[in-house]
């Protein structure tokens, strides 16, 4: 989320591992149809894209091993677990494509 000051200038949030993890989590949630796209306000189901974000989080976990705080590690593990469960639910429901849902 961008932050603005009193002059209307917009500043990006600080670049942190937490922010990156939450960004990837949000993208995965959109691809799983759990939250609407903020631009179109439509929910989409796109399991290949969701899998890409889940795999990206797994890669991030592997590449940052030994360099994360305990809180970052716990958050990364919990988010991946939640996303994998949601992914399996979507697969079981047969939702795969990038078709908007009502």
Please give the pLDDT value at position 13.
Answer: 87
Domain containing 76 equals 28-35+43-64+71-102
Please give the pLDDT value at position 7.
Answer: 72
- Structural domains counted in the chain: 1
Mean pLDDT, each 10-residue run in order, the chain (102 residues): 66 92 98 94 93 98 98 98 96 72 53
Identify the bridge partners of residue 99 per DSSP, sorted by sequence position: 45
20, part of any domain: no
pTM (global) more than 0.85: no
79, part of any domain: yes
Q: Pick from 54, 88, 23: which is nearest to 96 by CA?
A: 88
Please give the pLDDT value at position 93.
Answer: 86
Task: Quote the CA–CA distance of 77 and 34 in Å, as a whole number.
Answer: 19
86, part of any domain: yes
49, part of any domain: yes
């Amino acid at each position: 989320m961008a932050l603005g000051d009193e002059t209307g200038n917009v500043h990006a949030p600080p670049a942190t591992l937490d922010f990156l993890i939450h960004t990837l989590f949000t993208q995965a949630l959109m691809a799983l149809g759990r939250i609407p796209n903020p631009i179109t306000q439509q929910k989409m189901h796109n399991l290949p894209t969701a899998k890409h974000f889940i795999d990206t989080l797994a890669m991030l976990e592997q590449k940052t091993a030994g360099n994360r705080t305990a809180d970052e590690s716990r958050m990364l593990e919990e988010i991946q677990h939640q996303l994998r469960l949601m992914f399996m639910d979507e697969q079981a429901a047969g939702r795969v494509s990038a078709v908007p849902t009502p």
